Amino acid sequence: IADPPVKPAKKTKEQYVFSFGKDVESPPLDRNLLGGKGNNLCEMSTIGIPVPPGFIITTRACNDYRGSGRQLPEGLREQAINALRTLEAQMGAKLGAPVNPLLVSVRSGARVSMPGMMDTVLNLGCNDLSVVGLAKATGNERLAYDSYRRFVMMYADVVMSVERRLFEKAFDKLKEAEGVEHDVDLSVDGLKKAVEVFKGIYKEELGEEFPQDPVEQMFGAVRAVFNSWDSERAKVYRRVNSIPDDWGTAVVVQSMVFGNKGDTSATGVGFTRNPISGEDSFYGEFLVNAQGEDVVAGIRTPLPINKKQAQETGRTGQPTLEEVMPEVYQQLIDTGKTLEKHYGDMQDLEFTIENGRLYMLQTRSGKRTGMAAVTIAADMLKEGAMSETAALKNVQPEQLSQLLAPVFDQKAKDAAKEKRAAKGFNAGPGAASGLLVLSTEKAVQWAAEGKKVVLVREETSPDDYPGMVVAQGVLTARGGSTSHAAVVARGMGKPCVVGCSSLHVDEEKGVVAAGGMSIKEGEAISIDGSTGEVFFCDLPTSPSEVVQVLVEKTRRPEDSLVYQRFASIMELADKYGTMQVRTNADTPADAKAARAFGAQGIGLCRTEHMFMDPTRLADVRRMFFSTDAASRTEAISRLKKYQKADFAAIFEAMDGLPVTVRLLDPPLHEFIPHSEEELRELSGVLGTSFEELKATREGLLEANPMLGHRGCRLGITIPELTEMQVSAILEAAIECEAKGIKVAVEIKVPLVTTHRELEHQASLIRRTATRVFEETGKTVKYKVGTMIEQPRAALTAEMMAKHAEFFSFGTNDLTQTTFGISRDDAAKFLTPYLEGVPDPESPSELMSILSADPFQKLDQEGVGELMRIAVEKGRRTRPGLKIGICGEHGGEPSSVLFCQSIGLDYVSCSPYRVPLARLAAAQASL
C-alpha cells in the first residue's frame, strides 16, 4: 500500500517577471511561459544579438490575474517595478523622468502570434515633463512631441478603448488649420497643440485626466494586455484556431530605441533570403530617420536594402543601406546569418538603427512563396544549415502546387494592365490563355480543330466535364472554392477562377462583359488561377519547369535548377514517408503523369468518363435504354471492347503498380440526353418512340440524385453492367500479362450502404471472374473491395470487411452525407458559415460557424470519427485490412496527416497533387 499523498508544500513565491538584455542573464527559454515574442527576444539576447533590453511578465501572471477577478497577482507589482529599475539602470535613464527619460514599448505576446489581441503601445513614459526632457536629450523637439501625441492616442485607443476616430478627426482639423496634407508636414507647434487636444479628448471621453505617472501608465498597459486575452475578437480567434483559453498571454516591456534620431538612425524590415525566389540574398527595405510605424503606414516610400535588390526592382537610382551605412549593413547581414543558423530557417527581421547602432526588434521564420520554400530548403540542406527532417518540414505541401502550375510572364501581365477586366477566386493555380468559349459543345468542337480554348460558364455542371477536359482553363461567374468547377479543375491540375461575380455571361449572345469591357466568343481571354485575375486578351504561358522535365519531357533534369531542388525534397519525402501515395487517374495520360510525379499506384480509376466519351455514348444509351435485346447485347459487347482497351492502356502505364478500378457510379439519368433534339435523335438510334424515351427520362429524374439510384444500386439492379465491367477489366489484365506487363488490379464497389449489397456485388464479380478464367483458360490475381462513403457503411464496417479485401474511403460522398450537405448547393450557406455571420450575442461581431470547408479539409470530428470507427471495426474482422482514401481530401495536407494518424495504408489524389501528398505523408511520419 502506498503512502497517502503528501500535501504540496506552501507554494514558493511565483516569479512572474524576467529581465532580458545584454547585461542581465536571460531566463531559460520557455515559449509557454514567456510567449513567442518574449522567448525570441531572450533567445536573441542570449546568443549575443543586440536587442533593446526589457522584461517579460509571464503567461502565468496573466492567468492568475484572470483567475482572481482581474486582480494583479501578489508580488507582480513589486517584481515588475524591480525589473523596471534594473532596466533603468541598464539604460542609464529613468522611465518618464523629466531629464533624459526612458520610454518603453508594451506588447502582448502569446505562445503563438494572435491577431485579434492587443498588439503594441509605443512611447510609454511620455508625459508633460518627460516630453521636454526627451526633446532635450534627443535634440529633437519634433520627435518628442510627435512621440507624445502618438502615445496619447495609442494609450487611449488600445488601453482605454476610446475610439481612435475621434483623435484622427481632431488631427485632420489641425492639419487643415495649417493647410498641410501629410502628418510629417505639421509644425512642432501643431504637434504640441495636438497633444493638448488629444488629452482633452481623453478627459472628455473618460472623465479623468490623461495619466501622468509613468508607472501607472505601465500597469495600465499591462492590464490592457491581460484583458485583451478575453476580448471577443481574441476569443473568436482562439475558437476558430483551436487555441485553449488557458494559455494566457505574456507581456513584453522593452526600452524604446529611435530610428528617427537623425541621419545615422533608420528603421527597416528584411528577410535573410529572397522570399519570392528563395535566392540566398538579403532582401528588405528601410527608411532613414524614421520610426517603424512609418514603414508600415506607407507615408514615405521605403528604399531597397542593397544594390542587388535595387537593380532587380528597377530602382537603381535610389540609395541603399548597403551604400548609406555599409558597416551597419554588414552587421545586419551577419546578424541575419547568425539568426538563420540558430533557428535553422530563413528569418523575417525587424530592426532599428539608433545613432549608427543596430538593434533587432523581432525575428521569426519568414513567409515565402512555394518556389522560395523549395529553394531555401534544398539550399540550406545542401549547406548543412538544415537537417533532413527540418528541410522536409520547411516546405508546406500546398506550396508545391505553385511549382507545378503553368505561369504567365509577369512583364506581359504588367503590360496588359488595361485589359485586366475582373478578379475572382483563385481556385486552381496556374495560368491559361485561349479563345473564349461559352459551351462545352463548342469547347470540344474547337479543341478538336486544334484551337486552345478557355471555357467560361455562369457555373459548370457535370455535363461540362468534356469541355473542362479540353479547355486550357475554366472561369465561372458563380460558385466558390467548393464549386464543381473548382473541385474538378483542381483535380485535373487545370487553372481555374470561380465566383467572378462582376462577370456577365450572356451565352445566347455569345458575349462576356466585365470591367466596362466585353469580348465575344472566339476572342482571346486569359485567366490567372493563382491570383484570380481575368484578362480580356492573350497572354503567353508556359508549363512549369518541373512539368517540362517530368511530364512533357521537353527539358532535361540537369537543365532545371527548379526541378533539381524539387527532386531533392521529393527524395527526402520518400525516404521518411511511411504511408503510400496513389493517384486518382481515369486515363492512361493521367496515369503516366501521376507516375512521373511519383504515384505508387492508382487508388481510384473512375469509369464514368470512359462512358461519357461521345463515340461510345450511343452504345451506353443502347445498353441502358434499348428495349431490343439483340441491340442491347451488341452494345454491351462493343462497350466491353472499348473498356478493355482503356484498362489495358492504364495497366500498361502502371506496369506492376496496383490499379484500383471503381465500378460505374453516377445515376442513370446522366446518360440520357437533356435536349428534345438529342432525345429525338436517340429515339431514332434505339428505335424507341420519342414519347417512350421521354417518359423514361422523366422516370429517371430524381428529387435528390446524390442520394438516388447510383453506385452499386445500379450494379445490383442492372447486373449486366457489373458483369461487363468486370469482364473488361479481367480480360484486359489477362491480355496485358500475356504481353509481359504486370497487373495488380483491385475492383471496388461504389456507394455501398449495407453489407448485403457488397455481398451481392462481390459474389457477382467473383462469379464473372470464374467465367472469364474458364473462357480464356488463364487467370489473373485480383482483389475485391469497397468504397466506404456512406455513414452506414462506416458504422457497419465489421460486416463490410467480411466481403471486402480492402476499404477505400470516398470522403467526398461521406462528407456530404455526414454533414447532410450537398456540395452543389452548399455555397449559399457555406460561404457565410466560413466568413462568419452576425453573432447573436453582439451582432457587430462576426461568428464563424465552420473553421474550414469540410469538402477541402477533412472534418476530423465528424467524418474523421466515422473513418476511425470504420478502420477499427474493419480490422477487427480482418486484421491488416488494406485501407486508403480516394476523396479530394487525399491531397490536402492536414487530411493526409489525419489519415496517417488513424493508420491508413495510402492516400490517393489527383496526379498534380501527388508530390504534395508525398510531402504531407512524409511530414505525417516525422
Kindly list the residues in this chain that would bind a second copy in the complex (CB under 8 A): 702-709, 713, 716-717, 719, 751, 753-754, 756-757, 760, 763-764, 767, 789-792, 795-796, 799, 813, 816-822, 824-825, 828-829, 832-833, 837-841, 847-850, 859, 861-863, 865-866
Strand, coil or helix: what is 538?
A: coil
11 binds, among Mg ion, a second copy, none (CB under 5 to 8 A by kind): none
Q: Which does 767 bind (CB under 5 to 8 A by kind): Mg ion, a second copy, none?
A: a second copy
CA distance 532 to 696: 42
- What are the angstrom distances between the C-alpha of 473 and each of 408, 453, 454, 456, 592? 13, 8, 5, 9, 21
Binds 891, which of Mg ion, a second copy, none (CB < 5 to 8 A, cut-off by type)?
none
DSSP three-state, residue 368:
coil
Q: How far is the CB of 904 from Mg ion (least distance, A)?
A: 17
Q: Which option in a second copy, Mg ion, none does residue 839 bind, with CB closer than 5 to 8 A by kind? A: a second copy
Judged by CB under 5 A, does residue 746 bind Mg ion? no
Question: Could you tell me if 874 and 865 are in contact, meaning their C-beta atoms sit under 8 angstroms apart?
Answer: no
Which of 340, 723, 746, 813 binds Mg ion (CB under 5 A)? It is 813
Read off the C-alpha cell for 256: 524604446
**Shortest distance, CB of residue 787 to Mg ion, whole angstroms?**
6
The long-range contacts involving 72-79, CB below 8 angstroms and separated by at least 24 positions, are 72/219, 72/222, 72/223, 73/14, 73/16, 75/13, 75/14, 75/16, 76/16, 76/17, 77/219, 79/15, 79/16, 79/17
What 3-state DSSP class applies to 402?
helix
Q: What does 369 bind: Mg ion, a second copy, none (CB cut-off 5 to 8 Å by kind)? A: none
Smallest separation, CB 788 to Mg ion (Å)? 10
Grid coordinates given for 454: 478557355
- Which of residues 494 and 760 has its CB atom nearest to a second copy in the complex? 760
CA distance 323 to 97: 37
In angstroms, give the least distance from the CB of 658 to a second copy: 25
Residue 789 interacts with Mg ion (CB under 5 A)?
Answer: yes
847 touches, from a second copy, Mg ion, none (C-beta below 5 to 8 Å by class): a second copy
Which of 302/666 has CB closer to Mg ion? Answer: 666
First vs last C-alpha separation in the chain:
41
Q: Tell which positions 598-657 bind Mg ion, by CB under 5 A.
A: none
Q: How far is the CB of 875 from a second copy (least distance, A)?
A: 18
User: Which lies closer to Mg ion via its Cβ, residue 606 or residue 803?
Assistant: 606
Count Cβ atoms below 10 Å from residue 171 Cβ, excluding itself: 19
Q: Which stretch binds Mg ion (CB under 5 A): 46-54, 148-156, 185-193, 789-797?
A: 789-797
Least Å distance, CB 353 to a second copy, is: 48
What are 127's three cell numbers? 508625459
User: Binding partner of residue 837 among a second copy, Mg ion, none, CB under 5 to 8 Å per kind?
Assistant: a second copy
DSSP state of 281: S
Residue nearest to Mg ion (CB): 813
Q: How far is the CB of 830 from a second copy (least distance, A)?
A: 9
Which of 810, 854, 890, 911 lies at the binding interface for Mg ion (CB under 5 A)? 810
Q: Which is nearer to Mg ion, 294 or 813 (CB)?
A: 813
Minimum CB distance to a second copy smaller for 174 or for 764? 764
Measured CA to CA, the distance from residue 478 to residue 12 in angstroms comes to: 63
Q: How far is the CB of 872 from a second copy (least distance, A)?
A: 13
Please choose, out of 42-50, 333-341, 588-596, 802-810, the segment that lies near Mg ion by the rule CB under 5 A.
802-810
Only one of the segments 339-347, 357-365, 671-679, 783-791 lies at the binding site for Mg ion (rule: CB under 5 A); that segment is: 783-791
**Residue 706 binds which of Mg ion, a second copy, none (CB < 5-8 A, kind-dependent):** a second copy
3-state SS, one letter per residue, for 78-132: HHHHHHHHHHHHHHCCEECCCCCEECEEEEEECCCCCCCCCCEEEEECCCCCHHH
519 vs 814, beta carbon nearer Mg ion: 814
CB of 761 to Mg ion, least distance (A): 15
In contact, 823 and 855? CB cutoff 8 Å: yes
Output the smallest distance, CB 705 to Mg ion, in A.
13
What is the SS3 assignment for 684?
helix
Q: How far is the CB of 839 from a second copy (least distance, A)?
A: 8
Comparison of 515 and 708: residue with beta carbon closer to a second copy = 708
* Nearer CB in complex with a second copy: 77/792: 792
Return the number of the residue (211 or 708) whose C-beta is nearest a second copy: 708
- What is the separation of C-alpha 441 from the centre of its chain, rounded to a whole number of angstroms? 34
Report the DSSP beta bridge partners of residue 749: 786
β-pair partners for 846: 838
CA 680 – CA 671 distance, rounded (Å): 15
Q: Which are the contacts of 837, defined by CB distance < 8 A and separation ≥ 6?
A: 846, 847, 848, 849
The three cell numbers of residue 141 are 523637439
Site residue total, Mg ion (CB under 5 A):
3
β-bridge mates for residue 513, sequence order: 504, 518
- Give φ, ψ of 445 to 5 degrees: -65, -50
Contact, 249 vs 108, CB < 8 A? yes
Pick from Mg ion, a second copy, none: which does 708 bind, CB < 5 to 8 A by kind?
a second copy
640 binds, among a second copy, Mg ion, none (CB under 5 to 8 A by kind): none
- Give 712 or 743: the residue with its C-beta nearer to a second copy: 712
Nearer residue to Mg ion within complex by CB, 748 or 913: 748
Cβ neighbour number for residue 695 with a 10 Å cutoff = 11
Task: Report the distance separating Cα 734 and Cα 740, nearest Å.
Answer: 10
From the list 442, 441, 463, 444, the residue with the least C-alpha distance to 670 is: 463
SS3 866: helix
Binder of residue 849, out of a second copy, Mg ion, none (CB less than 5 to 8 A by kind): a second copy
Q: Does 864 bind Mg ion (CB under 5 A)?
A: no
Burial of 410: CB neighbours in 10 Å, binned 0-12, 13-18, 19+:
exposed
Residue 813: CB minimum distance to Mg ion, A: 4
Nearer to a second copy, 139 or 838 (CB): 838
For residues 608 and 666, give the distance between their C-alpha atoms in angstroms, rounded to a whole number.
7
Contact partner at residue 810 from a second copy, Mg ion, none, CB < 5 to 8 Å by partner kind: Mg ion
Q: Cα(80)–Cα(220) distance, rounded to whole angstroms?
A: 13
The C-alpha atoms of residue 422 and residue 122 are separated, in whole angstroms, by 41
Which residues are 644's β-sheet partners? none
Report the alpha-carbon distance of residue 456 to residue 85 in Å, rounded.
Answer: 68
Q: How far is the CB of 534 from a second copy (least distance, A)?
A: 23
Active-site amino acid positions: 484, 886
Q: Which is closer to a second copy, CB of 269 or CB of 863?
A: 863
Rounded (10°) CA dihedral 483, 488, 491, 497: -60
Stretch that binds Mg ion, among 411-419, 432-440, 721-729, 785-793 (CB under 5 A): 785-793
Rounded to an integer, what distance in angstroms lies between the CA atom of residue 187 and that of residue 465?
Answer: 66
Out of Mg ion, a second copy, none, what residue 301 binds, judged by CB under 5 to 8 A for its kind, is: none
Residues contributing to the site for Mg ion (CB under 5 A)? 789, 810, 813
